[in-house]
Amino acid sequence: MSHPHLWVKISITRGDSEFISCGIWFSDLRESSRLVTDLPPNDYLALLNRYFDATAGAVMAEGGEVLKFIGDAVLGIFAWSEHGEDLGIRERALAASARALREIGALSAFGRPLEIGIALHLGEVMYGNVGTEERLDFTVIGRAVNQAARLQGLTKHLGQPVLASAEFARPLRERFLYQGAHPVAGFEGPLEVYSPRAGDPAPARTRE
């Protein structure tokens, strides 16, 4: 499936960018410091790759684009359709969450299942290349990305594997439970957060 903004990757130079609106996925592995310390290096790398298969793989399976691995965190986006915003972005991101949680459930370390936190947000980002002349990094940056990262941090605090922002949950409010408004670093006001109701995210779909 072609990405509506894929041309940007080969057409812009350092410092060039465009603003796009998109769904944002930010996931992170919990207790990663313990895992990297206590597991033999080869075992840890094998587990990490399976974790990426489950998380980044879920994003791509549902039509999203993985932009960056930050340690054991995954940053991905779900692009608007050419017709503008629609519920499809939210549905695909929720399906990716379901797929990721299901596959992570089959992974374990020290006799315990792996745990992750997934944040789902929508907003406007700068999409382009940043870095040095010798080393460019194609990514998205902006307040919305920072908010997604802070939202992911709340998953552990609230004991929820998936949290969505108010912007993400608004048109699907009946499918979410309100988890309150919480202060986070870097934002003046608290973030309103929502968790999917039991039985949601919907089962992941097979894309043709």
Would you state the pLDDT for residue 129? 63
Would you state the pLDDT for residue 1? 38
Peptide bond into 40 cis (omega under 30): no
Contacts of 57 by beta carbon, 8 Å cutoff, 6+ apart = 99, 100, 103
Contacts of 166 by beta carbon, 8 Å cutoff, 6+ apart = 191, 192, 193, 194
Helix axes 41-61, 87-104, angle to 10 degrees: 150
Question: At which residue do the structure tokens 């992974």 appear?
Answer: 107
Strands 65-70, 73-79: pairing kind: antiparallel
pLDDT profile of the chain (208 residues), mean per 10: 38 60 92 89 92 96 92 90 70 94 90 91 78 60 87 94 95 93 87 86 39
Among 184, 186, 164, CA closest to 175: 164
Prediction pTM value: 0.83
The encoded tokens of residue 68 equal 């960056």
**CATH number assigned to the domain with residue range 8-196, chosen from the 4 options 3.40.50.300, 3.30.43.10, 3.60.15.10, 3.30.70.1230:** 3.30.70.1230
Would you state the pLDDT for residue 195? 95
DSSP code, position 190:
P
Would you state the pLDDT for residue 8? 37
Would you state the pLDDT for residue 200? 63
